[in-house]
Structure 1
């Protein structure tokens, strides 16, 4: 008997990370766990974005090049399967750079400067008037990545929604020029997990700020990070009522502890008085050790065989180049630049 479910085409997902350092707990809860689940029911591509990593590290390229295999090892260690997910390297797919060049002629500098995500990141990085051109055109590069793989579903946080909007603007402009739907629009798959704060609660957990708990963190590193976590400065004695809002330890317990009912009980005890900071930090540390210890050990195994990691990238990049070349050819035809193609 015919089963219509077997004939349904899997939706295409594109996601990825800039190669600017090892991945951390923020990536784990914010995107990596979701990717592990999505790979079973979707056609998923993960892009190691080394070119985009250079947009604010052009004068420190070693930071990018030394991070590439570390990022791939992080992927494999958390359970991303290269047999189910295509893992590729941005710089190994020439079509992405060429598409970026074509698309850049459809976007004004003023439009790029109005992009809220770009404005926010420019401010955070204190570029002033010395904004690298590559950084300003970051949204165009992302549009090239998304459209090259014909991705229709893009996992993002709310802060990245302007990037999706700008990608779809480019898609509509190119389709208008071609008088055909040669590119497809995409939609966001919003993360339900808020950005994880750093241990001091003042900033988001960030690779660039060095305030993150890496997936490769040792037991001592984890213990030190948890001990330094911000709680409630007015919770001086165990019997004092404590505040949950802004308490980083409870933010992490909400994100990582497998028993939400138990965490709710802890919150009640803490708010009513009778539960100390040392106790809740101990509970959180045990939770994080349970999560990260096996990831760290698997990661060590993968990093000990770098040839395997390179092979994962090579196979995924070759597959991605074949697919993206088809899109590139269609775009060149739309611009009438296919005179000697093929």
Structure 2
């Protein structure tokens, strides 16, 4: 049984905005106190679409990591690392590419979408087609069984699950596997061993999913099994061999409600963002010039909050009493648009204040953030080495 471990990451795109904070980083901060977490700067992934312009990658990496720490990601609780500093990512990517069918990659949901969206770029590269294999390697390298995603991203994880399933099927057939599994069952004790056999039979003969879950729970609670025996019995339960790479599960996160300054989703491509560490004057100016309900041409014209992008920000930042004040004041023309925007400005600045404070030491001394990443890379490599030892052995590449 592999421990619960979270793997998540971002491409280095430079300084982050409040959409990143509400959509991803707030959740990371929460998860780090609940699970072992690894947060990855996906710099190799950036090359799949930006291979022709690498000039800003390095600066973008450090700006982004400072924003992570500013948002509350704690390097004492989580490993923060750079993908390319852990070469095992490349090794596992190569090995997985040897057994991943081409047809799987061509039917990945995002492949054709990205080809269409980025039609102005030449994406006929192996790296772009093989992106899902690299993504799978990122997750499987740490046996990261939990991946935080929104509901719309769940299908993207299925290829990682399929690759892990195929790998275990091809390479989990160790010599004497069934005999070793039967010996492990005896170690469970008569009563638990018999129950395990019953559950295994129910799942494999009748496809009883409840029996599969009960069998997994039984193994998770077993105290007298070695790590190797536990892995064998997980594989034996499902009808395969030894489980070398676990199938990841989505850790569903709530969809971000963070709108941009124009009412669309906050995105750099729309030019409607507020950066995590934007100065107060700029924040105030951006919000003050936000468009409002077109019906409010003059101060005494009544409006409708539902037609105003500022109201969407109130949904994120304001309490019920403030929202009631906005609805009543807007519909009756009792308040003007600048008055309506003031509580939002104050709330955004209050949210940003601790971010500035947390970022300051790293801005004054950049070596501090580099040391954090160096430590995170070493922590990540320790886990990566363990996985690759087992992968090489399973694929006949250990040469001991």
Task: Establish whether TM, by shorter chain, passes 0.5.
Answer: yes
- Matched residue, 1:15: 8
Aligned residue pairs total: 329
Offset of 1:127 from its aligned partner?
4.5
Residues 1:234 and 1:125: Cα distance change in structure 2 (over 3 Å)? farther
- Matched residue, 2:188: none
RMSD of the alignment, in Å? 2.4
Offset of 1:323 from its aligned partner?
0.6
Q: SS in structure 1 opposite 2:276? A: coil
- Matched residue, 2:294: 233
After superposition, residues 181-330 of structure 1 pair within 5 angstroms as 181-194=243-256, 196-202=258-264, 204-207=265-268, 210-237=271-298, 238-244=300-306, 247-257=308-318, 259-267=319-327, 269-270=329-330, 274-330=334-390
Offset of 1:192 from its aligned partner?
1.2
After superposition, residues 58-73 of structure 1 pair within 5 angstroms as 58-73=51-66
Offset of 1:111 from its aligned partner?
2.8
Structure 1: runs of 5 or more not aligned: 1-8
CA distance in 1, matches of 2:120, 2:104: 18
CA distance in 1, matches of 2:382, 2:15: 29
- Matched residue, 1:101: 94
User: Highest CA radius of gyration, 1 or 2?
Assistant: 2
CA distance in 2, matches of 1:263, 1:144: 46
Q: Is the 8 A contact 1:182 1:331 kept in 2?
A: yes
- Matched residue, 1:135: 128
In terms of mean alpha carbon deviation, does 107-116 or 163-172 score higher?
107-116
Offset of 1:79 from its aligned partner?
1.6
Q: Is the 8 A contact 1:239 1:275 kept in 2?
A: no
Q: Normalising to structure 2: TM-score of the pair? A: 0.75
1:30 aligns with 2:23: yes
1:45 aligns with 2:6: no
Residues 1:226 and 1:92: Cα distance change in structure 2 (over 3 Å)? same
Q: Normalising to structure 1: TM-score of the pair? A: 0.87
Q: Is the 8 A contact 2:7 2:139 kept in 1?
A: yes
Q: Is the 8 A contact 2:16 2:64 kept in 1?
A: yes
Q: SS in structure 1 opposite 2:55? A: helix
Post-superposition Cα deviations, 1:197-222, rounded to whole Å, max 9, x if no partner, equal 332234x3234554321112111221
